[in-house]
Amino acid sequence: MSEDYIWLEGVPLSRKYLTSKYQTGEWRNFMFKEDDILTVSYPKSGTHWMIEILSLIQNKGDPKWVQSVPIWDRSPWLEARRLYEALEAKEGPRLITSHLPIQLLPKSLFTSKAKIIHLIRDPRDVLVSGYFFSKICFYFHQSASLQAHFECFMQGNVCYGSWFEHTRGWMSMKGKENYLLLSYEELKRDTRSTIEKICQFLGKNLEPEEINSVLKHSSFQAMRDNKMTNYTILDDAYFNLNNGPFLRKGISGDWRNHLTVAQAEAFDRAFQEKMVDLPPELFPWE
């Protein structure tokens, strides 16, 4: 597995995704601007859903942009070399994405007023989603079994490192006015209210019918059908979509269909141990 990753400050990152000089963390020279909107998330937390929503909010619900420009060009990942170069040339307000843990972000983020949306998801669903993702994405190490993936995940030996550390790190921003913490679960449970919360955070006023359009075009089915979002336009060097679609199930609680009782219990113990000092209401799942 180790050949799939480079380790930066103890965090495993995909060698293939970063490529050449970015393996030393070149993106840390990036200059954030006041009107940037950064989505940060541990992989498989609903990042693409958030980007689709933000892309639609930026256009007051008009789907033209999401239907004509690939999602990775609309909100480039900071740590992906090709996308980083495109980012620097972009006019504001820029949408930017990152799966990096907080300590690997550029210093300029913390002195700017750029808005940060931190999206979290039940880590058991993240784990299961990541296991299936590793079968279709060449950037991620593919474990031989769910049990093997479970062990790697619990040890933080997966792309972007420990979910626990990643989540704690970004949550340390809580209370800052340019930081919004959201969960996949609340987005699922009450999508409209969560979209309204995002609009309020961004200072965007959308009419009810514009919100309806955001809802419609960011639905699971709409995103699955949108070739600018579902990765079907990329060549086979990145994904093997014969092993499954990029948008897999889009539900909360799928871990119940995959984790054994022993795995679920081991997970609960680890969660208690590592997150015990944080208020339970930050984690809105059962």
Q: Which of 160, 122, 130 is nearest to 146 (CA)?
A: 130
Q: Are 247 and 230 in contact (CB under 8 A)?
A: yes
Closer residue to ligand PPS in complex, CB, 110/138? 138
β partners of residue 183: 120
Contacting residue, 14, 41, 98, 194, with ligand PPS by CB under 6 A? 41
> Among the candidate windows 27-35, 61-69, 164-172, 241-249, which touches ligand PPS by CB under 6 A?
241-249
Judged by CB under 6 A, the stretch of 43-51, 149-157, 198-206, 258-266 that binds ligand PPS is: 43-51
Q: With b meaning 16 or more CB within 10 Å and e meaning fewer, what string describes 107-141? A: eebeebebbbbbbbbbbbbbbbbbbbbbebbebbb
User: Under the criterion CB under 6 A, does residue 71 sit at the interface with ligand PPS?
Assistant: no
Rounded distance between C-alpha atoms, residue 21 and residue 17, angstroms: 12
Q: Binders of ligand PPS among 91-120, rule CB under 6 A?
A: none
- Whose tokens are 């269909």? That residue is 257
Please tell me whether residue 58 binds ligand PPS under the rule CB under 6 A: no
User: Segment 120-139, which members bind ligand PPS (CB under 6 A)?
Assistant: 125, 129, 132
249 binds ligand PPS (CB under 6 A): yes
Q: Which of 48, 99, 118, 141 is catalytic?
A: 99
Q: Is 250 in the site for ligand PPS (CB under 6 A)?
A: yes
99 belongs to the catalytic site: yes
Q: Tokens for 126?
A: 């993240």
- Binding to ligand PPS (CB under 6 A) within 193-232 occurs at 218-220, 223
Q: How far apart are the C-alpha atoms of 34 and 36, rounded to whole Å?
A: 6
The catalytic residue positions are 99
